Amino acid sequence: MEYANMEEELEETKQQQQRKPKYKGKHDKPKPWDDGTIDHWNIEKFDPSCNEGGMLAVSTFSTLFPKYREKYLQQVWPDVRRVLKQYGVSCDLNLNEGSMSVSTTLKTRDPYIIMKSKDLIKLLARSVPAPQAMKILDDEMQCDIIPISNLVSNKERFIKRRQHLIGPNSSTLKAIEILTNCYVLVQGNTVAAMGSFKGLKQVRRIVEDSIQNKKHPIYHIKTLMIRRELEKIPELANESWDRLLPKFKKKNVKQKKVKSKEKKPYTPFPPPQPPSKIDLELESGDYFYSEKRKSAKKWQEKQEKQAEKTAANKRKRVEAFIPPKEHTNKHTDEPKDGHNDVATLTQSLKEKTKKFGLKNSVENLKAENYIAAPDERSSKKPRGK
């Protein structure tokens, strides 16, 4: 009986575990109103009827702007005030302090509009045109202001890398805008970007890698173009794209070594003062000459320099008319006397003819001349005994 009761208890506990599944999160429980048709990433437009009571407290944000933006902001401020008035937000432009401020009013209904207004004045301070900056008030538009001056210590290097980001005729910047669907503005020590969260994340990565010299923007652009083409293929939706994306390796280019100047040994005494013009005149004695004698000496020195120059120029002109030396092959064995020359020539000719005759005689040798024929008999009579 006890064994049967234990089995029943185990079955009940198993059924309870099946009914009440364990959840990791405290609030991670199934919701009856949540089903697959709801898009959790969709940002719904705010309805003023959701907050009819308005704001309980006044929130204010302010930011400074550079002096070169003062004239432009004065022209644009009436349009900015008119747009913010539609959302129940008041704005103020203080030219004495060089600041812009926005604050909520009793007519403000959207609690997040004050954060959007703060982004608006920040973008205006960073030289974003007013028509483009006003788009930040839309719920789907976000912004990101990226500081880049603190990423590089050397100013010349910073300017060069910032130019890589812009490209020739702003071609690199336009390509980044098209591929990320973001508005990007490089101004001074910051980069202002406007777009979706996904696009802003890509822009920030490109900007930081470019300024820190980790990867050139052109490689990021190539990767984004390939990703855009891969998104069109439905078969690759659930696969990893690492094998299809290009892998760029950083190449360390050898730079020319700067020749460091040899440091001179430290001496506490200052270097000797170079002699002045008066000191040189005192040494040569020209200081005590009269003005007439000084001018005569200068004229004489001038004449001597002119004479030297004219002589050098004349030498150069004369050198053009001097003929070059002829190179002749002189033999040391050649005899100096003409008579001896004829004698040696005849002797050599005789030797050559003698050699030629011997050669012909050797060639005309025949063995038949030295062998007797069998039919021939000697004409001589035999001797008697």
Each residue's pLDDT tens digit, 267-277: 888 888 999 98
Model confidence band, residue 156 (pLDDT cutoffs 50, 70, 90): very high
CATH topology of domain 46-139: Ribosomal Protein S8; Chain: A, domain 1 (3.30.1370)
Count Cα neighbours of 137 within 13 Å in the Cβ-side half-sphere. Answer: 21
Pairing of strands 99-104, 142-147: unpaired
Pairing of strands 183-187, 190-195: antiparallel
- Between 43 and 47, where is the model more confident? 47
Provide the 8-state DSSP code for 263.
Answer: P
Report the share of the chain in percent with pLDDT over 90.
47
Q: Does this model's pTM top 0.75?
A: no
Model confidence band, residue 326 (pLDDT cutoffs 50, 70, 90): confident
Domains 46-139 and 140-249 are alike in CATH topology: yes
Mean pLDDT of 131-146: 94
**Into which CATH architecture does domain 140-249 fall?**
2-Layer Sandwich (3.30)
Residue 358: its pLDDT value, please? 60
**Is the pLDDT reported for residue 229 higher than 60?**
yes
Domain positions in the chain are 46-139, 140-249
**Is the pLDDT reported for residue 282 higher than 80?**
yes
User: Quick one: three-class SS letters along 6-31?
Assistant: HHHHHHHHHHHHHHCCCCCCCCCCCC
Q: What is the pLDDT of residues 295-319, one digit of tens each?
A: 898 899 999 999 999 999 999 898 8
Residue 217: its pLDDT value, please? 93
Q: Are 140 and 159 in contact (CB under 8 A)?
A: no
Phi/psi for 104 (5° steps) reads -80, 160
Phi/psi for 134 (5° steps) reads -70, -20
Tell me which of 90-104, 240-254, 355-369 is least confident: 355-369
Return the CA Rg of the chain: 53
Q: Are 120 and 137 in contact (CB under 8 A)?
A: yes
